[in-house]
Structure 1
Amino acid sequence: MATVQNFGDFLTGIQNSAVAGNDKTGQVQILKNYCDEQSSASHEEIDFPDILGTWAHASETNDEAVLATAPSVLVQFFQIISDRLDFRDFGLSLCHSLLKRDQVRLFDKALSAPRSKDALIAVSLQLLTEIISFDEGALSNNVFGRRDTLYRRLDGILGSALSAQGKLLAAHQSALRFLSANFKYLDTTAKTEIINHGKTLYSAIRSLPSEAPHTVLETLDALERWVLDDKALPKQLKGRCFNSGVLTALSKLYEYDQDLQNVHESEQAQVTVRDSLHRLLLRLCTSTEAILLPQAGWYPSGTNPDIIEQDENTIDLGLDSPYYFDDYTENVPVKNGGLSTFIHGLKPGEDLLHAKLVNAIFAAAPELVAEYISKKQKFLAPSGDDPLWRGQFAFLFSVVQLDVPKNFGWPEHLPQTPPPLSIAIENILPRSFERATSSKCLHSEDDIVVFSTLRFLSIALDKLDSVLRIIDQATTKSHLWSQAWLKLVNSFVERAPPAQEVVTTLQKLGPDKEQLRTSVLECLAKYYKVLPSAVAGLKFDITPLLSKALISLESKDSADSLRETFQQLSHELEIATGSSTTKWWHKATSESLSTASLLLKFCVNCTEPIITKQARHVLGGLLSGKGVLAATKQSLDALLTSLTSTKKWQAETTTYQFLDNCMIRTIQRPVKYLDPIENLQIQESDKKELSLVACCVAEQWSFVLKNEDNKTAVKNIAGWIARFYTALDSAGENYRVLMSFQNDMLIAAKGNEVAQKALIKAFEQQRKKPAILTESLSSDDIGDVSGIDVAMDSTDHVLSPHQSIDLTTVFAPFPVIPKSMNGLTRWENPDFESDVQSGRLGNLIRCLISPDHEIRLQAFHTLQTVMHAVEQSTYTEKTQLYLLLGEVSETIRNHHSNHTTQQQSDGSSETQPPPSVISALANSILNVISDPSSPFYQKTNAFLLRSPSWNLNHVIQRWANSVFHTEPESDDTFALPGGAPSNPVLLTSNTASESKNAQTQEISHFIHTILIPSIRTPADVDLLRRAQIYTRLFTYYAAPICPSSLRKLILQVVHQTCLVAGGSEMLITRTGVREWLRVVREVRGHSGSGAGRAGKVDIEMRELVNAVLLEIGETCDKAVVERWEAMRPLFKIAGTED
């Protein structure tokens, strides 16, 4: 005993010296000499004979003190020598000694001791753990070879973590670490035997909730690293290891006592047991490399939808045929039965991590959704604002939000037959939220219940729309898909509440519940969009609400109230478009405007781009469909342009009332106005189309003349008529007939001198300065706002050699210059954070380069007001914003001064707008300074501090030098401010993998936000040419570091230059662009492009280069190029090459 005790004290001294940082070389050398003396001379002998002999004697005499001390000392010894190479041979020899028959019997006796001998069992397991771990498991298989003796009591030890008194057993903790060491060091065969035993692992996991936090975390980490991540273990064995019983036992750790973890000082912060468990279960249950089996999504296990049963002797009944069995309402066969059993034991309505886990499993194995719902028919508790209902409802909501699986889960392609509709409907609108439940929720007095129900129905309708669009793609495969479309819609209508219930909810809302009203309108709009047949008979007129929203927008200043009203207006427009009961031309009083005219007035004055596009789309379809305007896009543009305010003219209410009256008359009696137009077309020998409302305007002018008391109104209407007729002429409508109407109106006004002069003056002004039409809008401009991405059976868009490429759709357009100052003149108490993010301040800056001199002048004076407001504001970045606006103001002032001096010397009077680079650079800086986390923040601030104004001849060159020749501010990957272009060709799937170089990102930012928006006029192109931007970009294009996304931006610079007058000629004669394009279209991918692209020509890029080359040839002045080529025969040869 004394020998063992003294040796233990010596080892403790070495360990204490290591902790204290003292020199222990001498003590270790003594230990080495002692080990050499105690080393066995042959395999028959044992090492440490004194210690092992004392241990054996204590076993015979039942001396418990020595039985515990001897293995404890050996554990200490192994802990000291485990990282010392010079003790390796002795350590291995000692392990062999401990695994001899006599010593194994000592282990067996200790492990077979009663549970009250906890310390004795624990120290024996600790020693076995040290043996199996020594020298990276060199003797692990030797230990496992004695499993009949050493492992036979392991299940019992692992089965309980607490003593009879409720205290943690040290033996249980030691057993867990011993089991973890086995998983770490044993080979595949030995691991397989432990896993196949089953009870050992199950006993260990079942008792984990009672263990200390650090032990639980160690065990979970061991399972993940040495079982789940072991590539040598077959997947089938992992599935057996983590069966439903083991997963259920693991899930009990979600209820692990957090207070127990918090009392352990070593476990403060980092990872909790719940988080570690959740990460492990996510990996286990959602990866096909773990236990998840491949499945067919919405197609049940055992079916083959690619086989269509046909019999010539029977009548084809389609989906009603007995061949197409679709009775999966009670039981859905699935491949992942173990996962199904496991998730049924979770409580996603009560625990957020449970809900996240189940949703992740559903996303990875969509086959389980319908199976789960079919067995949880009464999943929802009675509706009410209580935690249980909220949790259960949130889980159901997240289930419906899951994406529709690609091809409904069938691999590679859409099959010949649709998925069973009883499965599809459970994924779209689960039976737990059927009509009775949802209707009851809509009638609830609790706003949160009503709001949640409406959002649920909106998401379900969006998902139904996504499914129906996929079915539409598959209707060419077989007639069964068309039948499925109808049956699925009918199933949804039967399960969802009728639209009238939603209308009733809308009608009973109070005036102060704007957010809830927005949700009701959104839901109702989804009904009209997705289920038009279900709302065809609905007696509901949205025009009172629509008119109220349009009128309220004229007076609202608050950003929050505007945002809410814009959202409501968007939904109301969709409802109005889809409803056959919409009273577009109804007027509440004779003095008011109809809803259609209010919408027209909104389109003229609103500056919010998204809602304006939607409103113009609705208005254009309405006016052309009713025959008011010609069926061309330009006709609506002409009407909107004629009503757009200028500095000297603004449409008054009387003008809108006059126009409203004309449109209503045109709709009521279209033939009355069609006949005169046709007669004049014959008379003038001009068959060009003309909008009917133009004829009505000419007719109603005589009634305007009778209103002699209101001369202001007459002048305003006269001014509009002149603007409207001029705009129709610009839109390509019948000029000769318009002139005839103009003459008729002038003749009718002979008795009214005021009206006649006003009309003559208005037409004269329009003749001198014709109206410029606003940008044309088509239905393609309106994005799909369904909110759910559909996984379609299609490949990524690839441009083929035989496909015509429209470069205007390939390259994302840059922001346009506003046509007027509407919405940009009032800056009382501005919210600069909102104005910067919404783009309102950016639009004001763009007005500074407008082609219209009046707009530029008005914008410049408004900018001075904004600068004063910035100085007085509490905006966090107001210093940088004030500097920016001041420098822009000084730059504009200097340019105007220089331009005026040049005009005086040249004797010209034409005023040219400032270079576009002012607006582009200012907007780029504006976005950067509003986000201090931007990687361009430091470089931008340094630029703002350089000088009070910008030298326009050098500013672009300076920024080019900054991004091409100086070190970037950040080495990390970052996103472009404001988002990259969303065009599917501009951003391909490999963009993210390429965009890892910080300098590349800076160059992309420079091109995207500064260069491209700076190319608008010939003067802009000349500015870039003199800065040698084109040659610099062309050189960088061929660099190996240049990714395809950046190459597309460079091609967009070329494309944008071609759209400017003289741009193509400059590229050909000054940069050799044609020769350069022919070279770069054969550029091959480098090793950094990925294994699949290295050394290969990018076909998509080649087609884009060819399209740009073709565009240059089509847009250039061929006569100019031919004269230039005649002087340079070498280039002529290159220019005619294929």
Structure 2
Amino acid sequence: MGKRQFRERDREADGSFQDGPMSIRKKLKVVHETPTSEPITSSRQMRMLLSFDHDARKTRHGLQSFKLFLDALNSPDGEGNASDNREMLSLFLKSTAPRPEDDDGVYLDGVFQTWAYGVQTHNDGLLSSVAVVLGLLLQVISADLSMVRHGMGICEALLQDRHLKLMARNLSSDPSKGFVISPTLRLLREIISLDGGVFARRVFRARQYTLAEFVRNLEVKHGGEGVEDLAKASVRTNSIRVFNTFLRYLPSDDRKELVLTRGLMSHLTFLFKDDAPSVLSELLESLTKYFLMDAKIPSYAKSTAFNAKMLSRMLNLYNYNHDANETVTISDKVHSFLLLACTSKDSGAMLKSTGMYPEGLDSASVTSGRERSGLMGVESLSWMDRYKTNIPVYNTSLLEFILKLRPWANLKHSELLVGCFSACPELVAAYFQKQISFTFDPKLSMTWIGYAAFLFNTIQLPLPNNFGDAERLTADIPPPTSVLLDNILPPALNQKVLTRCLDPKSALVSFFVTRLLVVSMQKLQKAVKMHGDASESAVWTHAQRKLLDGYCDRIPEMKEVIRAYKAIPVENVLHRATASHLLSLYYKNIPQIALAANFDASPLLISTLNRLETKFENPKDKAVVIIELENLLEIASYSPGMRWFNKAEGLPTSPFTSLLQLACNKSHVFHSSRLEEVLSSIAAEHQMVSKSSGLRPLIEAVRKSDDISSEEWAVLDNCTQRASSSPLKYLDLLTEYIGDEESSRSQNISLLLVTLAEQIPHVCKSADEDTLMSLAELISEYANLCVAEDESESSVAALCIRMKEYLPWLALPKPPKTKKEKKSSSDKATTSSDPDTMDTNEPSMPSLPESEYNNAIATICADLEEVTVENAALTRWVNKSPEELIDDTYATEVFKLLLSEHTSIRREALTNLLKMAAKVKESSHPEKEQVWLLISELAESAKPFVADGPVPSQFVAFAVHALPILCSPLHALYPKINRYLTKGPVWAPAKLLLIHDVLHGEPSEDDKLYIELSWLFSYLLDCLHIKEDLAVFYRNSWWEKILCAACNPNLRVGLRSKVHKLLYRASCLEGGSTMLITRFGIISWLATQEAQAGKAEDKVLYKALIQRMWSTCDVQHVEKWSGQKGSKQ
């Protein structure tokens, strides 16, 4: 009782004590005493200090003394006598070395006993001190080669199992005991790096101990706010340094195994934002140099280590802001790292892919699919459609990662994403298919501009060679259209959005979109060419057509681009030049859309020429306007209605002469060969210059002369107008001026000279003497250059002599220094298609080399297909909807069965046609009435012929070619075909249907003539199958009218090639060549076309056709008709 009362009185006296539930229980405070130390002066003293002792205070005193000794050796200031201290340390290490006969002996046996004692007594101070001392000792030894052998002995001791367990005990300490874990990690680094990493692999193989709790330790960061002080490195920082050291010294297999350790990369990247800049720099450098760039580590390992999650965490370092004062920031370094990791097939985490071919698409699967479906050719391409909604890729992790990028908000994100697309094209379509969060609606903002720039860089990426996989290319597998189309024009850029973006209210948006469309068109042009170069099979042709159709569905209509172009202010020269370039690309790549827009470039061409006459504040603006002019010239060259030689309002001369002035102007530096080429082509088409020399002599003559006055340009303008409008008149004048005999030898001469000779007498009446002298100088130079270009010297001289009567200053042309052998033109007959007036002296047959002849015939026969009759068409159409019948080829396949050799097939076809007509009439198709009328008239017209033989070829050909027109009300021939169908229910077998309306009638619109001719020639080609078909062409001299149409100088190459195909097809039929030679003078016509051809390959082509006609005709009949035996030879 007395003791209890005493304690209670003490408690009451203590004012800080509170009894009851609110009382505070005091925690015992643990105080870590700082160990004492003493200076070390001898190796014997060192040995005594480090010997084992059960007194922990005494042991720590020895370890602390040794630590300070080692610190002095490691100090860069070199405190004390460093060489003596090193000698002392070396003697100490020799004395502690184990004896050779002692198998269990180790270096520093006392230190290891102390370590084991610390573990037994749970003395964290001892555990920390031992790890610190050993780490510092190995650090000193590594800097001195003479002591490295002692360091290797110490490492051998450390790698014994009993000591590895001690190390594991330290590494597994509670995370709060960083003072134990960090020294042990530093010790581990020294072991790994000693003597060039000789122990690195052994340390890693003992990872059960050496990497104990390593993944956990990567998350033990410093306790303060902000970036840690590296002088007091945290457990995480030391762990990262151990990881870097391992990467540096381990061989490739072990590096891979280390990085792929479960959870390591996840814990390593989790706390990046709190790491010091130097630590992050070292880590990125190590991962780059020793992992990504290690060629012995396979790609799959790199891809596994840097999956989407890891890459996303590294992406967060773009926002790292603890290194604002550094020249190369962490953001820049991690950007370089990600570029390497995501874009390098050999050094990065990217797996090899197959370009535009999705994962899983190979020749085996496609071929087996074709065999199972029983379909071949075009119909076997149904596998393409399955990639419209889902595109499997090889790099799934990379795809998941790039979907997290924000290219519209961050330039580095945009650069990284475009780099991924460039290195791995398979990602483009898959990315845009999944990334639908951003729309391209025209809202001018930094975000919209960023996305537009990203799309521009993406579209600008080149298509990979062989579409990314040569194996599938050679296996006749085109890339899926949807995948390729998304690479050319991403789906975010659809027709509706692009049309809205072209609105001239926002000039910058309109300019951006115009540039996007330009690079897209150029990429489409490359893709179409690659399709053509890959194969000539129907599969590739269909894929090419499908690509063009899909592209046309996405881009704005031509009229919208024209409207936007016209609305651009004239001061925005760069925008106008880009828009004009886009319009020219429409004509080049998708002429079917461009020609349908009925665009007249004349007013814009004239206004551009007028602008070039004005003064520009910035000379560079004039260069851009010239580019715009070149684009408009290219557009105008596609328009047959362009009036080049008529004076326009606002111009002193015709557009041709104004352009010629610009081409000849040597005062400005913007010389354009493209402008010269266009002008030469126009002049040659209008037959006012020789095709061999073109406009070169005139342009060079003007450039060599002094400044040409406006009066002289007026003379040249007048002469060009006259020569282009009446070439026949000046051919007759040439005969008058130089004589009949000379004229027959002078076919190679420019009619512009003849026109000058005619007009000079009139010019002399009104011009002053200075103008006439300057004009004489110009004509003299022009005549000399014409002769130098291999024009007839005598003819040019004769014309100059005539002009010299009025221009005495004019000099006669000098003969060229090296004369070329001139070809006689006496063998060439003038063109005439009238058999009654035709010269019967046919030109001799050219003798082409066999290879040259075969190549020319192969060029003519390209895409020339015979009509194929498939009996399966009788059953294939039955289950199809009326829309499929009309839009696909099911109906036309039944039409062609009327040409079958078997009567039963023809009768079945006729019956099926009547059923098909009834099915169409009952449908809801918008053009059902016209289609029903076409099928019904075909059936009625074919009835009388079905029992006797194949129906007339023109019936089937007309129906096959008219059906697509009836489904396209905007087509130029739509009204003509409808009018023809309403004329009567039965077609005449002796007539070529609709040919009169096309060749003799006016086109439905002014610029639609060539569209109608293209359709007509294709239709006529299918009318020639058997020799009886020749009689239909012979009636009413249709061959003569076809050849006359082909003489049009403005006729495009494609239309001329169709005429060549017609002639070749006729020569394949019995009696065809004989009829063409004797009735329509085809040999003379071909010889004339050869003489007028400007290109060598065109001349060879006409020679091959002449040779073909001679080789397939009835020679005896032709010789008897011509009155010349052996005219063929």
For this structure pair, what is the TM-score category when the shorter chain's length is used for normalisation? Answer: 0.5 to 0.7
Q: Which residue is equivalent to 2:590?
A: 531
CA distance in 1, matches of 2:167, 2:498: 66
Alignment of 1:393-404 (within 5 A): 393-404=452-463
CA distance in 2, matches of 1:314, 1:228: 46
- The answer to whether 1:761 aligns with 2:825 is no
Secondary structure class of the residue paired with 1:114: coil
- The answer to whether 1:32 aligns with 2:90 is yes
Q: Which residue is equivalent to 1:374?
A: 433
- The answer to whether 1:286 aligns with 2:344 is yes
Q: 1:146 to 1:475 in 2, by over 3 A?
A: closer
CA distance in 2, matches of 1:287, 1:619: 50
Q: Which residue is equivalent to 1:672?
A: 729
Q: Which residue is equivalent to 2:309?
A: 245
CA distance in 1, matches of 2:378, 2:799: 63
CA distance in 2, matches of 1:304, 1:692: 61
Q: 1:527 to 1:47 in 2, by over 3 A?
A: same
Q: Which residue is equivalent to 1:15?
A: 74
Kept after mapping to 1: 8 A contact 2:440/2:497: no
Amino acid at match of 2:172: S
Kept after mapping to 2: 8 A contact 1:553/1:562: yes
Q: 1:645 to 1:311 in 2, by over 3 A?
A: closer
Alignment of 1:34-433 (within 5 A): 34-41=92-99, 42-159=102-219, 161=221, 163=223, 168=228, 170-187=234-251, 190-257=254-321, 260-262=322-324, 268-269=326-327, 272=330, 274-279=332-337, 281-283=339-341, 285-288=343-346, 290-305=348-363, 318-321=377-380, 324-380=383-439, 382-411=441-470, 414-433=474-493
Kept after mapping to 1: 8 A contact 2:381/2:539: no
Kept after mapping to 1: 8 A contact 2:118/2:124: yes
Q: For residues 5-63 of structure 1, what are the alpha-carbon distances to aligned partners after superposition, in whole Å with 9 as ceiling and x for unaligned? A: 111111122223x4348751100011112223333443434433444444444444444
TM-score when scaled to structure 2? Answer: 0.61
Amino acid at match of 2:718: N
Q: For residues 762-800 of structure 1, what are the alpha-carbon distances to aligned partners after superposition, in whole Å with 9 as ceiling and x for unaligned? A: 33x345899999xxxxxxxxxxxxxxxxxxxxxxxxxxx
Q: 1:676 to 1:218 in 2, by over 3 A?
A: same
Q: Which residue is equivalent to 2:745?
A: 687
Q: 1:156 to 1:673 in 2, by over 3 A?
A: same
CA distance in 2, matches of 1:276, 1:451: 34
Runs of 5+ in structure 2 lacking a partner? 1-59, 820-850, 853-1129
- The answer to whether 1:651 aligns with 2:698 is no
CA distance in 2, matches of 1:180, 1:724: 79
Q: 1:371 to 1:398 in 2, by over 3 A?
A: same
Q: Which residue is equivalent to 2:919?
A: none
Secondary structure class of the residue paired with 1:261: coil
Select 1:509's aligned residue among 557, 563, 568: 568
Larger Rg: 2
- The answer to whether 1:439 aligns with 2:503 is no
Select 2:601's aligned residue among 542, 561, 577: 542
Select 2:580's aligned residue among 508, 517, 521: 521
Secondary structure class of the residue paired with 1:587: coil
Q: For residues 133-177 of structure 1, what are the alpha-carbon distances to aligned partners after superposition, in whole Å with 9 as ceiling and x for unaligned? A: 223333334433443344341111213535486774700011111
Q: For residues 80-131 of structure 1, what are the alpha-carbon distances to aligned partners after superposition, in whole Å with 9 as ceiling and x for unaligned? A: 1113233233323323433445544443343333332222221222122222
Secondary structure class of the residue paired with 1:655: helix
Kept after mapping to 2: 8 A contact 1:154/1:175: yes
Q: 1:487 to 1:284 in 2, by over 3 A?
A: closer
CA distance in 2, matches of 1:114, 1:365: 47
Q: 1:555 to 1:511 in 2, by over 3 A?
A: closer
| Larger CA deviation: 310-319 vs 490-499 | 310-319
- The answer to whether 1:596 aligns with 2:653 is no
| Larger CA deviation: 418-427 vs 50-59 | 50-59
CA distance in 2, matches of 1:167, 1:559: 56
CA distance in 1, matches of 2:694, 2:187: 91
Amino acid at match of 1:762: W
Secondary structure class of the residue paired with 1:321: helix
Q: Which residue is equivalent to 1:460?
A: 520
Q: 1:132 to 1:725 in 2, by over 3 A?
A: closer
CA distance in 2, matches of 1:730, 1:234: 67
Q: 1:590 to 1:173 in 2, by over 3 A?
A: closer
Q: For residues 492-511 of structure 1, what are the alpha-carbon distances to aligned partners after superposition, in whole Å with 9 as ceiling and x for unaligned? A: 11111223222222211223
Secondary structure class of the residue paired with 1:404: coil
Kept after mapping to 1: 8 A contact 2:407/2:454: yes
CA distance in 1, matches of 2:641, 2:687: 19
Secondary structure class of the residue paired with 1:432: coil
Q: 1:532 to 1:19 in 2, by over 3 A?
A: farther
Q: Which residue is equivalent to 1:615?
A: 675
Q: 1:180 to 1:547 in 2, by over 3 A?
A: same
| Larger CA deviation: 494-503 vs 51-60 | 51-60
CA distance in 1, matches of 2:336, 2:205: 35
Kept after mapping to 1: 8 A contact 2:317/2:330: no
Amino acid at match of 2:107: D
Q: For residues 486-541 of structure 1, what are the alpha-carbon distances to aligned partners after superposition, in whole Å with 9 as ceiling and x for unaligned? A: 22222111111223222222211223222222222222232233322221133333
Aligned length: 751
Amino acid at match of 1:214: S
CA distance in 2, matches of 1:761, 1:440: 66
Percent sequence identity over matched residues? 25
TM-score when scaled to structure 1? Answer: 0.61
Q: For residues 1103-1134 of structure 1, what are the alpha-carbon distances to aligned partners after superposition, in whole Å with 9 as ceiling and x for unaligned? A: xxxxxxxxxxxxxxxxxxxxxxxxxxxxxxxx
Q: Which residue is equivalent to 2:756?
A: 697
Amino acid at match of 1:672: K
CA distance in 1, matches of 2:762, 2:462: 60
Kept after mapping to 2: 8 A contact 1:140/1:186: yes
Secondary structure class of the residue paired with 1:278: helix
Kept after mapping to 2: 8 A contact 1:4/1:70: yes
CA distance in 1, matches of 2:122, 2:790: 112
Amino acid at match of 1:501: E
CA distance in 2, matches of 1:141, 1:378: 49
Kept after mapping to 2: 8 A contact 1:373/1:426: yes
CA distance in 2, matches of 1:583, 1:642: 25
Secondary structure class of the residue paired with 2:766: coil
CA distance in 2, matches of 1:635, 1:67: 97
What is the CA distance between 1:614 and its match in structure 2?
1.1
CA distance in 2, matches of 1:286, 1:311: 36
What is the CA distance between 1:218 and its match in structure 2?
1.5
Kept after mapping to 1: 8 A contact 2:460/2:519: yes
Secondary structure class of the residue paired with 2:107: coil
Q: 1:417 to 1:48 in 2, by over 3 A?
A: closer
Q: Which residue is equivalent to 2:542?
A: 483
Kept after mapping to 2: 8 A contact 1:529/1:574: no
